[in-house]
Chain A
Amino acid sequence: MTAPSGPARLLADVGTTDVVRLDAHLARWGALPDVAPRTLLEAVDQSGVRGHGGAWFPVGTKWRSVAAGRSPVVVANGAEGEPASGKDRLLLHHAPHLVLDGAAVAARAVGSKRVVVHVADDSVADVTAALAERDRRGLDTCSFEVVVAPDRFLSGQESAAVNTVNGRNPGIPSFVTLRPVRAQGIGGRPTLVQNVESLADAALIARYGPQWFRSVGTHDSPGTALVTVTGLWDAPRIVELPLGTTLQSALGITTERAGAVQGVLLGGYGGGWLPTSTALALPFTEEEARARGTSLGAGVVVLLPVGVCPLAEVARVARYMEGEGAGQCGPCVNGLDVLATQLELLAHRPQSLRGGLSAFPTLCGLVEGRGACHHPDGVARFVRSALGVFGDHAALHLQRGPCRTTAPFLPVPAVTGAVR
């Protein structure tokens, strides 16, 4: 029951245990302490923990904004629609009770009696089994229900999750600028939508306090991050690393190995590309990522190997993202389609691309900031950064024609077809 001292926290037992069942969980971490809501809010505030769903918003600030409302609802969000991310599924499988403890802590802190666990289809069995264990013990005072997220890229977006639970426009975001979900979400109630990893962090903060939490990480980005790494091993792997460390040291990447990588994608398909040397030397925090025009997103790192045409990859992802749009905002519907078409030309028929690369910044500018959600902004960042990092490659396409076709590398599921 002692607090873990190393960087591995949420995944401390992943090497030895497939699923940490309730008995093992309680033996490992002890029961949740009986703490007043105000004390919990203070602890979470002081811990500095930030949201791991992709926005990196301070968790304490978010909790306080909801705690001010009447009978709020808590959503433990593990929808994880990002194809290059697997950390929420792993966490819900391996340590479901840390997530559920965290949701219980959040509910207590904000004065909620209702928790909705919003997860992908693959995670339902893991969550249901864990909830049954807790039920037998009579562990919780709040109610838990499980809601399945539609298998779509946008499912985990805050207002999309609320719509799914409300049973209206499931998996489709709303325009929330004038009416945020923290004020009016599920059933019209103030709603806290929090990523499952952040909740698991909160479960440990409630036990060991903010100072312990801050013993790893940086001042502005304390704690650890679960990161899905693609392109370093035979299959994608999920690692827990201390925030502020470099990928080079955390992943043990040699100079020789780095030489076989032509660029690194941070933050997934709404994130941005960086030159390999920049990405590997970057202290892994959201501030550092933003200062270089990208984001950590939900902790996605993709190392693109040499020998794969980056433009073909970018075009394929852009087309997937276009198809995964909600189909409700004009600039996004029209703009992403044209953007994907232009990228396909650049990748496969560059001789047909009129005006060379000059159209891309304009097209990106036409979609940025003009959707109900940040879907178009993310695609624009992905495309702009790709043309920056792979600019020489694009020039080669324009001069000499396309690369010969290579096997797809970036994971792109079949487009589900927008619900329109």
Chain B
Amino acid sequence: MSRTRYRLVVDPVACDGAGVCAELLPELIGLDPWGFPIVESGGVPPALVDLARRATVSCPRLALHLVRVDD
């Protein structure tokens, strides 16, 4: 049985470093010295998918994307 897996992708052109994502999802997103997000590269654990989705729709620039991983 396979479960859909996701990863988070930041559109660095759209992102202006508001930092909302890091506040809503500190488990997977940190900030660099200039306030831009650094996203955990390992993908989104199933338990955090809903929170990750909430972070994407809360981004004021809609720069955070939850992308399905095809394996």
Contacts and interface: CB of A to CB of B under 8 A. Distances in A.
Does chain A bind chain B?
Answer: yes
A329 B16 CA distance: 8
B9 interface: yes
Contacts of B71: none
Interface in A180-214: none
A329 B65 CA distance: 16
Nearest to A366: B32
B47 interface: no
Contacts of A64: none
B: interface residue count bin: 10 to 19
B56 to A, nearest CB: 12
A159 to B, nearest CB: 10
B36 to A, nearest CB: 4
A77 interface: no
B13 interface: yes
Interface string B24-51: 0000000011111010000000000000
A366 B33 contact: yes
Interface string A106-117: 000000000000
Interface string A323-337: 000001111101100
Nearest to A376: B12
B69 interface: no
Interface residues of A, number: 15
Given A177-B9, A178-B9, A178-B67, A330 B15 contact: yes
User: Most B CB atoms within 10 A — which of A174, A330, A370?
Assistant: A330
A331 to B, nearest CB: 5
Contacts of B32: 331, 334-335, 366
Interface in A326-379: 328-332, 334-335, 366, 370-372
A332 B14 CA distance: 13
B12 A331 contact: yes
A175 interface: yes
B60 interface: no
A366 B36 CA distance: 10
Contact of B12 (A178, A366, A372): A372
Given A331-B32, A366-B33, A178 B65 contact: yes
Contacts of B34: 330-331, 334-335
Nearest to B63: A175
A370 B9 contact: no
A332 B12 CA distance: 9
The 9 closest A-B pairs by CB, nearest first: A329-B12, A330-B36, A334-B34, A175-B13, A175-B11, A328-B13, A372-B13, A330-B17, A372-B12
Interface of A: 174-175, 177-178, 328-332, 334-335, 366, 370-372
5 contacts: A178-B9, A328-B13, A330-B34, A332-B12, A372-B12
